[in-house]
Amino acid sequence: MSILPYRTSDLPGVGGRIKVEPEDFLVEEIPAYRPSGDGDHLYLWIEKRDLSHEFLLRHLARGLDISPRDIGTAGIKDRRAVTRQWISMPRSVESRLAQLDLVGLRILQTATHTNKLKTGHLKGNRFRIRIRDTETDALSAAERIAETLRLYGFPNYYGGQRFGRDGDTLRAGWRVLTGKVRPQRRDSRLRLQLSAVQSHLFNECLRRRIDDGLLDRVLPGDVMQVVETGGLFVVEDETTEQSRATTGETVVTGPLFGPKMKAAEGEVAAREATVLTESGLRVQNFERFKKLTRGARRAYLIRPDELAVEWGEHGILVSVTLPPGSYATVLLRELMKGESDLESVSPDSSS
List the chain pLDDT tens, one digit each, 351 residues: 578 999 999 999 999 999 999 999 999 999 999 999 999 999 999 999 999 998 999 999 999 999 999 999 999 898 999 999 999 999 999 999 998 989 999 999 999 999 999 998 999 999 999 999 998 899 999 999 999 999 999 999 999 889 988 889 999 999 999 989 888 765 578 999 999 999 999 999 999 999 999 999 999 999 999 999 999 999 999 999 999 999 999 999 999 999 999 999 999 999 999 999 999 999 999 999 989 999 999 999 999 999 999 998 899 999 999 999 999 999 999 999 975 556 666 676 443
Angle CA(258)–CA(5)–CA(256) in degrees, nearest 5?
Answer: 5
Q: Which CATH superfamily, name and number, covers 33-119?
A: TruD, catalytic domain (3.30.2350.20)
Looking at residue 286, its pLDDT comes to: 95
Looking at residue 48, its pLDDT comes to: 97
CA distances from 258 to 46, 215, 264, 301 (A): 34, 23, 13, 21
DSSP string, 286-299: HHTTTTT---EEEE
Question: If one looks up domain 2-21+124-152+303-344 in CATH, what number appears?
Answer: 3.30.1360
Q: Identical fold at 33-119 and 157-299?
A: yes
The one catalytic residue in 10, 78, 305, 348 is 78
DSSP string, 64-84: HT--GGG-EESS---SSSEEE
**Catalytic residue flag (residue 78):** yes
Contact 139, 287 (CB under 8 A): no
What is the CATH T-level fold of the domain 157-299, as seen in this structure? Answer: Pseudouridine synthase (3.30.2350)
Side-by-side strand order, sheet with 250-256: 232-234, 223-226, 250-256, 296-299
pTM of the model: 0.92
pLDDT in tens, 189-239: 899 999 999 999 999 999 999 999 999 999 999 999 999 999 999 999 999
pLDDT in tens, 180-191: 988 876 557 899
Looking at residue 175, its pLDDT comes to: 94
Looking at residue 165, its pLDDT comes to: 84
Classify strands 232-234 and 223-226 as parallel, antiparallel or unpaired: antiparallel
Residue 213's region, left for phi above 0, alpha for psi from -120 to 50, else beta, is left
Looking at residue 343, its pLDDT comes to: 65
The whole-angstrom separation of Cα 126 and Cα 208 is: 30
Domain spans, the chain: 2-21+124-152+303-344, 33-119, 157-299
In angstroms, the first-to-last Cα distance of the chain is 9
